[in-house]
Amino acid sequence: MQPLVYLTPDNLQALWLTARVAALTTLILLLLGTPLAWWLARSRSWVVKPVGALVALPLVLPPSVLGFYLLVALGPEGPLGRWMLALGLPTLPFTFAGLVVASVFYSLPFMVQPILTSMQALGERPLEAAATLRAGPMDTFFSVVLPLCRPGLVTGCIMSFAHTVGEFGVVLMVGGNIPGVTRVVSVQIFDHVEALEYADAHRLAAVMLAFSFAVLLALQMYSARQARKGRA
């Protein structure tokens, strides 16, 4: 009998692919979600509420529904797919890039919400102090807002990475099940169960369980440390 820690080459490949997708998705979400959260926190436009609802939609929308509409939109008959074909570019479904795009949409609220909460709690005093020093909007954003919102940024990155690692419905709809290209850990576990390979499924699931516990523990320890700093 193989030991619990043994992982097959296919399992290791799925783990590496999942880590790549999660890391790239988190980086893209950090670059896109931070200015979006700042706009949601500061804008007084009526469109803030509808945009905020759209950002939070993946929290309540079934993953298969979101995955289906992304598949249609990105496919050769969809608006984005036709646009890409017109530019001479390949369509995104069932590719690594398509997997990343789908993950960005699905994990967007997990990045935006913590950052938005930090920015809303910032208040006006730091911004007014920066204005008295004649700091421009960009200088204020990078020198004042981002450092003060670091807890929200760290939480958003951790939650986005962990959520992307655990995706199943969206990635299966948009990415399919192509070894080495779109077969992530969650799909690999499903394949093992379908093939009645429970030992392999158990080993891979145990790795994911340990990872999830470590992520939540790290997040709680970081939050506790920030709380102690706030009381100091």
pLDDT tens-digit readout, 62-119 = 998 999 999 999 999 889 989 999 888 888 999 999 999 999 999 999 999 999 999 9
118 exposure class (CB count in 10 Å sphere: 0-12, 13-18, 19+): buried
Contact by Cβ (8 Å): 182, 176: yes
pLDDT at 230 over 50: yes
What is the pTM for the complete model shown?
A: 0.89
Per the prediction, the chain carries an average pLDDT of 89
pLDDT at 161 over 90: yes
DSSP-assigned letters across all residues of 73-86: HHSTTSHHHHHHHH
Is 89 inside any structural domain? yes
- Name the residue range of residue 198's domain: 59-225
Q: What is the mean pLDDT of residues 167-195?
A: 90
Is 146 inside any structural domain? yes
How many independent structural domains does the chain possess?
1
How is residue 57 annotated by DSSP?
G
Is 86 inside any structural domain? yes
The residue among 39, 205, 25 whose CA lies nearest residue 120 is: 39
Is 206 inside any structural domain? yes
Residue partners of 76: CB distance under 8 A and separation at least 6: 82, 85, 91
Is 109 inside any structural domain? yes
Measured in degrees and rounded to the nearest 5, phi and psi for residue 62 equal -55, 135
- How many CA atoms lie less than 13 Å away from 2 in the CB half-sphere? 12
In CATH, what number is assigned to the domain containing residue 220? Answer: 1.10.3720.10
